[in-house]
Every structure is written in structure tokens, then in C-alpha cells.
A and B are shown apart, each in its own frame.
Chain A
Amino acid sequence: MAQTTVKIYTPTTPIWCPGCGDFGVLASLKKALSDLQIKSKDTVIVGGIGCSGSIHNNLECYGIHSLHGRLLPTAVGVKLANPQLTVIAAGGDGDGYAIGAGHFLHTLKKNPSIIYIVMQNGTYGLTKGQPSPTAQVGYEGNVDLPFDAILTALSIPSTTFIARGFSANQAQLTDLMKKAISHSNSNEGMGFLEVLSPCVTYNDTYKEWREQVYDLSTEKDYNPHNRLLAFTRVSEITNQGKIPTGLVYSGRVKSLEENTLSKEKGPLALQDISLESNLPKYEQILNDFR
């Protein structure tokens, strides 16, 4: 809750169909933010386009609804301008892995300290059920094998946090969400969390997914800090027709802010940019024209 007396907007009721996996994501997200005591004034949700991309309307914090596929660059812009914020990009798999696929790869490569939640359901629900990049073969005439974002993320050397949850497993999902947020809020880079979030109307996969999910944490030898072993094990499990969930990988690579931002000056969005405060530096730079 806001701590001042200013009256602000009332979060809306989600637009989702009853039983939609996205309800589980919203519930986990609210719980994670509340458990971690992250202030609403310092939280920015960047929504994508699609059913899941309206999630920013359902919480009380700052929200920006980006263009289709562009939530990641938008979130990176917010974070670079003010790294003190908790920046959470949330959208669907069509948004992230199809129209925004270029940004997906490059944002993983940059490793900004943002959280990226992808609600994947194998379908473009809002436009009534076309196959999305994660659609299973045979769904609505889809002939392509589904895109595996976890293996893709593992193959990019600068990724630092990769996890997969299932909206029907709240305890695990909330735990992963908290871990992802804590990772990013320690400025250690991008917390990437893919959530299996079924579309009950156009691609109801609850039944199949309940049978297929495989919690990596149940495997006592699984080492989420070894990229190569993680890649091998995740591939094996996937090839057995299972869907690995849990913390897949976490590691240490310098974050985008560490590599980019000035340490002394504070958030650039909040700097004093008046002429008077900066005049000596401006005059010094003017000498470059002489």
C-alpha cells in the first residue's frame, strides 16, 4: 500500500478466463513482493502484449505497458535510468520468443538486473488460439518443434539466473519468484523465470503438464551452478518427454549496470540537470571544439 494519503488508481480485476494459469503467476508475484517487503513506489512492472501482458494493471505499483515484443528493451531502459528500482518485465511466449525474440537473446546477453517472467502456454490466446513458439507439434496445425527458452538461455554465456515454474505449483513458483527478484535486486543480473501457465480456453495443457513436470530440486546431484552439467541434464530430462522445473542455473557474470553506470552519480533519471550545477563540466567539454 502507498504510504501517503494520495489516492491512486485501483488495480483492475484480471481480464483472464476462469482457471487461467496467469492467476497463479499474479498470486505468486504479489506474495513474493510482499514477502520481500519491496515498496510499491520502487516497483515497476513492464507488461507485454497479450492476455498475460495486462498483469501490470492488477497490482498497485508503477506500471508501463510496452509495445508487442518490446517489453525487454523498455525494462532495460527503466533499469539503466534508475537501477534502484525493482523492474519486472512480464509477458507471454509469443511476445518474448517470437516477435521479441531478438531482444530476448540480446537482453540475456546484456544481463541487466531485471526480472523477466514469461507466461508460456503454447498459444496466442488473445487472438483466439494460433500456435505460439512453444506450441506442441500438432496444435492448430503446428509442425515446428517447440522453442526451448531454458536451453537457449543456458547456451548464452552471460546468463546468471534461469528457472522454470508451473502456475499450478504455487509454493515452488513463489519461491522461484523470490529468488529471481532477490538475484536482480542484488544487481547480479537478469532473473529469467519461465512459467508454464496454461490457457484453459485454447490450449488446456494442465493435465499433460501435471504429468510432465519434473522438479530439479528433487534430484540431489543436480548442480544449478554448473552450466554444462545443467545443460546436459535439462536436455536429457526434456528428451524423456518431461519438463524440468525449479532453479535451472545461477551464476555470476557482471551485470549491465555494473558495466555501464557511473558509481558516484546515482540514478541518472534523478540527477540535477540544471545548467548551473553542470556548467564547469560543460565548459570543459566545449574545449573539444577548439
Chain B
Amino acid sequence: MATTLEQQKPAEPMLKQDICIMIGGQGGDGTLTVVNLLGSCFRNIGLNVYDARNVLSRIRGGHADGVIRASTEQVLSTGDQVDVLVAFDEEAVQAAVNELAPDASIIFDSSKGQLSEKFGGMGLRVVNAPLGNMAASKLRRNIFKNTIAFAILGRLLGLEDDLLIEVLRSRYERRGKEALDANMQALSLGSDLAKQNNIRSIYKIPHSEKSNKILATGNEAVAYGFLVGGGRFFVGYPITPATDIMEWLAPRISKLGGVVKQAEDELAVINMGIGAAYAGARVMVATSGPGQSLMTEGVGHAGEAELPIVVVECQRVGPSTGEPTKNEQSDLNHVVYGSHGEFPRLVIAPGSAAECFQLTVDALNLAETYQLPVFLLLDQALCQNSESILPFNLKSIKVERGKLLSQSDLEKIQTYKRYQFSEDGISPRSVPSLEGGQSQVTGNEHNEYGLTSVDTTNRLRMMSKRMKKVELAKNELPRGNNFGRKDAKIGIIGFGSTLGPILESMEQLKSKNIGVRFQQIRTIFPLLVEDLIEFSDPLDKIFVVENNYQGQLAKMIRSALGRNERIESITKFDGTSFKPREITNAISTSIQGKLEMGV
């Protein structure tokens, strides 16, 4: 049966204000369920959590793991190291070995034999327990090994039995008595196993009152932001990592009288969205890089026809099919420059779930106010990792519909022209069913009435009318967030899910006496150059951190700023998010190098 390496265990449990736990095994082993159960436990005792998943693009099998970090502070990354690993097979240990803390604990499923000796000499604490065998023999299904592991994990972490029971109950209660009973049995099997084998608490996790915080992924926050921002028509096509948005919305939007429609492909998605937007609905579509490739023509069409639509682009490793489940930020160029011809667009990039909510509402308002397509640019980590955050603030929400006309507005108009030239480039917008607003909307170049025109003077005026909306929108676009010391000479620029790792890296740099400032950019296009200049002018060195090969954001920033010798790219494109220490090391190495050269 299970063995513990008692001699390696400290006498008193270690207090952990910040702990990271990984559950690894094969796809279908239920690793993510354990992550969710732990998340509920930690939230119930007042901790902040952040979790991430690492799965393959297949339904079952292949290595999969989930990581959950719990902390007394708000954290937005999984941090640098794993303190406890539950491994359902040796591959899971191998996959985690570079991330394990030197004194990490491993709960290993020894159904097929004890963990290989080669891991023994690393100072790791190993609990060998036949999780799978026990589940199969006692409960007749291997899958319950995850709940058995959860029980042992609870013991190791010093979590009370009542807490584990409560969490398990609230997860399985709504799935029927059978599922609940079996899991409860698995839980007591696990705790008996822990007792019999004298597994004691190694860690002490601080407890406090359960806070009012909620748990949300970026995708869920976008979906909720869409509803609250007045979104009533969503059309999508399944694609990782964007599908969650459609799935979250489908059962909820109908309560508000809205619709989620799954279309036959992304060409249909964008054009169906355009049709609904034209008719007056608030519309959002969501996709990833491959889908965006198909939607590109449609986005240009919305730009030319001046129709409001929000396009969520959930980036993943590309090009082509790439790595569907893995993290990358390599579609910046695609959303900023993609399309034939030139048209107005905005590209907005939140960095946390809270921002995903707020910026989705902003994107809907911007799209309708300026009558153009707005990209909401996310990345896989931001889309799918969960954060505990304060409840979304509904009081701050405003629905702004710009120059959308009502029947009574139209009655005051003498001549209606859909593309009327105006001071600000924005024309009054009528929708079908309004009397007197009959007009033509088209992707052809057109005159003020929306009728096709190749007149050269008209072309010049129409182009500048459309393009100047981007300049006008600048005053309302989400400005960057600045962090760190104002007197620092070293700066960091990043966007999206690098927010969390960069913030933690700043703490690490501080402890090395390296003071830095950080600007988290939230509008990628148009770059808010004045803000960037104000941020970067005092800096001697600027590191642009991003998950791609070419340093796409760095290139955009170089074209906007002077003194470009200051700008250095820190890139990562292996499919995983930055660890704080990787940013810290890159910056400190670069600076040390400069110091040695006497700069």
C-alpha cells in the first residue's frame, strides 16, 4: 500500500501564504476536476486563486495537467514553481520536473509500480498510493482516482474533512445521487488511505472568512460583458480557445431574448453578424487565428460599410492549425494590418478577467459610436485561466449607441443619407423598419446615399470620413495601465496575459535592487503614442515582453517611438506563458551585460 518518506517530512507543518499545486495525468483522468475542487476549497477559506490548464487537442489521452495557485494576495500567474504534484503516471512527473520546487511533494499513483528511483534523489517528498487500483477495485471505475487523490491532497495541505465534503457535495449534488454517493465514497477511501499510512499535514494554509470574490476566466468575463453591454446576437463556429464564449452564452442569452447561433463556417459567422448588426442588433463574434483568417474579408466589409461589430480574437499557437490549446500572442499583425484595402478599426487588449468584462462593454460602445469593427484581442492563457476577482461592477456600465436613429429622430430630418458627410465623420444610422430611413449599405465605394460611386472627389472624401473616425476615437480608447516607480530608468511594455508574470517579475527585480516601470498597453491599434512617449521618455531601456517570435508589438512600438536603440524584445513562443523568473532573468542578464560593457 501507500508509503510515506517519513524521514523527509518536517515535524511542523510549513505555513504557505502562496502555494501552487499541479495535477497531471492523461486526458480524461479528471485532472481539471481536482483543480476545480481545490479552487472551491481555497476560495471557501478566503484565498485568491489562479488556475491554468495544459491539455492536448484531443478528447482523451495524452498528457494533460492543471495548475492551481492559491495566495493571500491577488495573483495573475501560476508563478515560478510547483509545491505539490499529483501525478497519475510517470509522464506527469517527467513533464513537471523542471517546475517542481526543490522541496516539492508528489502524490504518485503507484497502481503500475512505485515512482522511479531517478526522481528519489531530488529532495522531493513522495507519497506512493495505488489510486487507480483502489478506485477500480472498490468503486469499479478508474475515474474515481481523482477524488481519492483529492482526499489525500486535502490531508497533505491540512484542509479539514468538512471543507472537502462541502466542496464535493456542492459540485456533485446537481449531477444526481449516484455521482454524489460514488464521489463521497471515493473521498472517504482517500482519507482512510491517508490515515492508515500516517500521511500528515506538511503544509499549513492560512484561513480567513470567505470573501465575496467570484471566479472567472477571460472568456467567461467577455461573454458576461457582452450580455451586460447589451449584446443580443452572438454567432460563432467552434474553435479552441474561443468556443467557451459561445457555450457560456448559449443557455443565458435566451433569458434576455437574445440568440446564439452556430454557423457553418467563419465566413458565415462574420457575414451573419454583419446582417444582424445592420438590422440594429448588438453583435459579437469570437474566433481564433484560423477563423480570423476566414473572417478577414468580412471585417474589411464592416469597415467599408460602417457597421458596428465586435470580433473577439482568442489567440493560440499558429500559423495553420498550430497548437490549438496552447498560448501565443502572434496575431497582432493579423488583426492590426489584416485585410485588403484600408478601413478604420480598433484593437483592444484586456489583461485580466476584470478587464475582459469592462473592455467588452467598451468595445460594444465604441463599435456602435464609431460604426466600425472593433477587435478584442485575447490570448489562450487569458481566455481559459481562472482568476478570483471582485464581482463585476454593474453600476459602472453604460450602453452608448452613438448616432443610432429612432423613428422620432427621423421625423426631424429632411433628407436621409446613410453616409452623410459630417464634422466628425460619423453619419446618422437608420435601421430597417424605420420609415424615412430607407437607404443602401454597401461594401462598394459609395456616395452619401450608399449608391455605388467611383467619382474621384467622392472617393477622397469618403475615405477620409471613414479613416478619421480612428483619430476621433482615440480620446475614448482604453489607456495603458502604469505600474512601478516613476523614477525608474528601466521600463517594461506588455499586453494581455503577460500582465500577471510581469507584475510578479517586478517584485523579483525589486529584490535585486532593479527598479522598473511597466506599461500594460490596452489599445494595440491605434497605439496611444502620447501615452507611450510620456511613459518611455525618461527610460534608458525598454523591454517589450510578448509571446511570439518576431516581437510584433516591439516592432509597432519602434515605429511609434524614437531612440529605438533603447528597445529590446523579450519573446517566448514555446506554447507556454512566461514564468515571472524568465522575465526577471532576461532583464537582469541584459542589464548585467550592459554594466559589464561599461554602459
Q: A interface vs B, CB < 8 Å?
A: 2-9, 12, 40-44, 46, 54, 56-57, 60-67, 69-70, 72-82, 84-85, 102-103, 106, 260-262, 264-271, 273-275, 278-279, 281-283, 285-286, 288-290
Asked whether B595 is an interface residue with its Cβ less than 8 Å from the other chain, the reply is no
Q: Which residues of B contact A (CB under 8 A)?
A: 214-216, 220, 224, 227-228, 230, 232-233, 235, 252, 254-259, 261, 263-265, 267-269, 271-283, 297-298, 301, 305, 391-392, 394, 397-399, 410-411, 413-417, 431-444, 449-452
**Contact of A275 with B267 in the complex, beta carbons under 8 Å:** no
Closest A residue, CB atoms, query B395: A275
Q: Using A8-B438, A81-B281, A269-B431 as known contacts, say yes or no to A65 and B443 having CB atoms under 8 A apart.
A: yes
- Flag if B259 contacts A78 (CB, 8 Å): no
- How far does the alpha carbon of A283 sit from the alpha carbon of B298 in the complex, in Å? 34
Known A-B contacts A265-B257, A268-B281; the reply to A82 vs B235 at CB < 8 A is no
Chain A residues with CB under 8 A of B297: 67
Query: Bound state CA distance, A250 and B279, in angstroms?
Result: 28
Instruction: Tell whether A62 pairs with B438 under 8 Å between CB atoms, given A41-B432, A103-B264, A103-B267.
Output: yes
Question: Are the CB atoms of A74 and B265 closer together than 8 Å?
Answer: no
Closest to B278 in A: A64
From residue B230, how far is it (CB to closest CB) to chain A in Å? 3
Q: How far is the CA of A278 from the CA of B228 in the complex (A)?
A: 8
Most buried by A among B271, B411, B414: B271
28 pairs across A/B with beta carbons < 8 Å?
Answer: A4-B435, A12-B452, A40-B438, A41-B434, A44-B279, A44-B432, A57-B440, A62-B438, A62-B439, A64-B278, A65-B305, A65-B441, A74-B274, A75-B275, A77-B233, A80-B259, A80-B276, A81-B233, A81-B279, A106-B263, A260-B261, A262-B254, A267-B279, A269-B280, A275-B394, A281-B256, A286-B392, A289-B215
Residues from chain A with a CB closer than 8 A to the CB of B399 are 273-275
B340: shortest Cβ distance to chain A, in Å? 12
The answer to whether B432 touches A78 (Cβ under 8 A) is yes
Q: Which B residues are CB-close (under 8 A) to A12? A: 451-452
Measured CA separation A106–B261 after assembly (Å): 13
CA separation between A52 and B72, bound complex, in Å? 66
* CB-based nearest B residue for A60: B438
Contact A282:B279 (CB < 8 A) given known A67-B298, A289-B214: no
Find out whether the CB atom of A269 lies under 8 angstroms from the CB atom of B281. Answer: yes
User: What's the minimum C-beta distance from A182 to chain B, rounded to whole angstroms?
Assistant: 20
Task: Determine the distance from Cα of A266 to Cα of B232 in the docked complex, in whole angstroms.
Answer: 12
A64 closest partner in B (C-beta): B441
CB neighbours of A75 from chain B (8 A):
275
- For residue B437, give the distance in angstroms from its CB to the closest CB of chain A: 8
Residues of B within 8 A of A265 (CB): 256-257
Using A268-B258, A268-B259 as known contacts, say yes or no to A70 and B298 having CB atoms under 8 A apart.
Answer: yes
Contact B235 A77, beta carbon cutoff 8 Å:
yes
Q: In the complex, are the beta carbons of A3 and B391 less than 8 A apart?
A: no
B268 and A271 form a contact (CB under 8 A)? no
A42 touching B298 in the complex, CB below 8 Å, given contacts A73-B275, A282-B394: no
> Cβ of B438 and Cβ of A61 under 8 Å apart?
yes
For B228, what are the chain A residues with a Cβ–Cβ distance below 8 Å? Answer: 275, 278, 282
Instruction: State the Cβ distance, A20 to closest chain B Cβ, in Å.
Output: 17
CB of A91, distance to nearest CB on chain B (Å): 13
- Top 6 closest pairs, chain A to chain B, by CB: A77-B275, A265-B257, A273-B230, A6-B436, A81-B279, A65-B442
- Complex CA–CA separation, A75 to B432 (angstroms): 12
State the CA gap A52–B263 with chains docked (Å). Answer: 26
A64 in contact with B275 (CB, 8 Å) = yes
Query: Are A82 and B214 in touch, CB under 8 angstroms?
Result: no
| Cβ A2 vs Cβ B438 within 8 A | yes
Query: B271 near A73 (CB under 8 angstroms)?
Result: yes
Q: Is the CB of B433 within 8 A of A82?
A: yes
CB neighbours of B269 from chain A (8 A): 73
Select one of B255, B268, B436 contacting A285, CB under 8 A: B255
Closest to A15 in B: B452
Q: Considering residues B267, B276, B431, which has the most beta carbons from chain A within 10 angstroms of its beta carbon? A: B276
How far is B235's CA from A88's CA once the two chains are assembled, in angstroms? 21
A289 and B216 contact, CB distance less than 8 A: yes
Given contacts A77-B273, A273-B399, 6 further A-B contacts (CB under 8 A): A3-B435, A9-B417, A56-B440, A65-B305, A80-B276, A289-B391
Q: Are A273 and B232 in contact, with the CB atoms below 8 A?
A: yes
Measured CB to CB, the closest approach of chain B to A257, in angstroms, equals 10
Question: Which of the residues B267, B272, B279, B391 comes within 8 Å of A286, measured between beta carbons?
Answer: B391
Write the nearest CB–CB distance from B168 to chain A, whole angstroms: 17
Chain A residue numbers with a CB within 8 Å of B432 are 41-44, 62, 78, 82, 85
Given the contacts A74-B272, A269-B281, A9 and B449 also touching, CB distance less than 8 Å: yes
